[in-house]
Structure 1
């Protein structure tokens, strides 16, 4: 198979226009990336990934064999799940080629990296407004699923966002948000349940992304999650922030439950490596990560896989991105997608959450207090939030209790 190469572009902090930073070559499932010398000489130039793609004196660049040859930060920017299925539907072909996926995807990929020849096409992306989306939802006949609005809303041709549920980027209150919709195969009130969980996470002290909820007509629900990797400035320019999923940070390949490296403990260790500068309190970040793990267990979010956690580059340093995609299961199996102990146990029990809490900079007393207080807050606030959304306080079931 012949080698194929594409330019790699990055939005540096405070800049609304991308810089070409290097070239990515894929051949026979082996990827190679080389920084452009001109990019490295730019004032403020940043490594796309400080550990896996750092600046070095070598001109040979970096080599990757996992994930079909895609480096993690490139894989993070590639469409998957619902976004990939929609892109294939729009293109009328099966996109098995990773480079083709990256080229044809919309310019709303997570983070600040694009791998493509036609960067102008990415820059031309314009998100529809949340009002446009709600108007389209109202116009849909009752028998048609809300997911059809993703393709039908004016000006949208696809999405680079990952995940299995229907979603798209919209402009809302002058900023970019992710809109999530109910799909035909989803459990009842999926957008509402995620909204409630995100609101309750914030009430319990978790650094969660800002959310909004809209009930469109009698039946349709819309969840909005503000994008933490985008900022629209006072001049209307869109600024991007570098992002790396936990899947990238942990250097994972194919998703496999039971993998010892697919764990919160391993991610806490990597936080020290990625964020452990002299002016960064990595212990604070580890404590935040433990709270997120514990809250996922409390609310029955068994979809807490490594692509639903990540790091963000902001204010000149890497740190935890806001918590997102906290979606309680209706029938929780009692197991999280990432292991919670150093021994690789993933059962969401209080004993497991307490077992290695010290590795997260959290004392046993603090951990017990968080679990007890959060249980009470969830029980008290769940019906309150439901009523605020226009539902009865007992209309949607509470998340399952922690064992």
Structure 2
């Protein structure tokens, strides 16, 4: 089966959309070509897909999907939602392009939208967000999706599918000229994950990390008190003149690494390699040091879901930058001994020796790296008290019993 989509992008420093290019996929092989009339010299992935008008790029990764396009494909939650809503209309297996075509452009990660014609239409770039007051309705919608109940037409407005923020139920909501990502507890969660993630993010912010603005909202839903993590969308900013949102271009760590997502090949899932790609993107040394500290922090708290899609980069102020920290959740079912990405000489193992072995890849001297690690490990007692203050006794026991012992 052959499928074609067109990519639209809100170019830097404007709220107007232009056609970036065309992607055609057949038999798991893709062809990408830039729009010959693309009006600017900037493209999102100039390393793997430099602007060469007329050149056809053959795409073999991700069943024919370039990584910078995979970044906006709905994740596990979005795919479940789309299958529930549109499944009766399809008699063939879902493809990544199906998910892109059937999902909304308004809440996508970064500045890229998609369409099926080579012209940017108003419908393709419309901004239609639910108000924060719809949060309770979304909790009901989430429960209906997870339990297989019927989804009425009124609830379809709650069917958002952004890839930002991890593979859990979530919705982008509007409040006072800002957009927020709301992440409630999932039906099968073994613990109060929204509150646990809030505890991790608030502790990281306290320790000087660049963290997405966040809050914890508690509401009474059908007589049950529920926590929802609220994250401010850092890839959106309201433009007073056009009364539209400016969309900052975004790329995931997976795209910078040119790594595979849908296969078992994780050879490029690597912190040292990501640091090197940050250098190629001319990202500051200070931010590369921040990535190293984030790796150490993930080891401290036992967050082994630190895969490349949970690291993001944002184009602001005319340059690529490390995006604020988000989606940081410790393991709650076992004590992790590895991270998702390679750390150093001993691969993904969480050990002191391994955490220090790759310091030079981050342009950090060995003694400085030791000081960084010692400082972060010294936070353990403070982290414990932070958890005790914010978590229920049951959730504290679940989280604290899964903290790695780093030796």
Shift of 1:384: 4.3
Q: 1:96 to 1:146 in 2, by over 3 A?
A: closer
Q: Deviations over 1:312-344 (max 9, x none)?
A: 111111121212111111223221000101x35
Name 1:124's counterpart in structure 2: 126
1:129–1:171 CA contact under 8 A, matched in 2: yes
**1:90 and 2:78 equivalent?**
no
Q: 1:96 to 1:394 in 2, by over 3 A?
A: closer
Does the residue aligned with 2:180 lie in a helix, a strand or coil? strand
- Alpha-carbon RMSD across the aligned residues, in angstroms, is 3.0
1:182–1:221 CA contact under 8 A, matched in 2: yes
In the superposition, the TM-score normalised over structure 2's length comes to 0.86
Q: Deviations over 1:66-113 (max 9, x none)?
A: 101001111111112011110111112476233222111112111111
Shift of 1:154: 7.8
1:311–1:318 CA contact under 8 A, matched in 2: yes
C-alpha separation between the residues in 1 aligned to 2:298 and 2:55? 42
Name 2:101's counterpart in structure 1: 103
C-alpha separation between the residues in 1 aligned to 2:54 and 2:255? 23
1:258–1:339 CA contact under 8 A, matched in 2: no
Name 2:396's counterpart in structure 1: 396
1:350 to 349, 352, 368: 352
**Equivalent residues, number:** 389
Name 1:61's counterpart in structure 2: 56
Spell out the pairing of 1:245-324 with structure 2 (5 A cutoff). 245-255=252-262, 259-275=266-282, 281=284, 283-324=285-326
C-alpha separation between the residues in 2 aligned to 1:6 and 1:361? 41
2:346–2:354 CA contact under 8 A, matched in 1: no
Shift of 1:48: 2.5
For structure 1, the 5+ residue unaligned runs are none
For structure 2, the 5+ residue unaligned runs are none
C-alpha separation between the residues in 2 aligned to 1:30 and 1:249? 21
In the superposition, the TM-score normalised over structure 1's length comes to 0.86
2:71–2:252 CA contact under 8 A, matched in 1: yes
C-alpha separation between the residues in 1 aligned to 2:359 and 2:192? 33
C-alpha separation between the residues in 2 aligned to 1:302 and 1:209? 20
**1:165 and 2:163 equivalent?**
no
Shift of 1:155: 3.1
Is the deviation greater in 82-91 or in 235-244?
Answer: 235-244
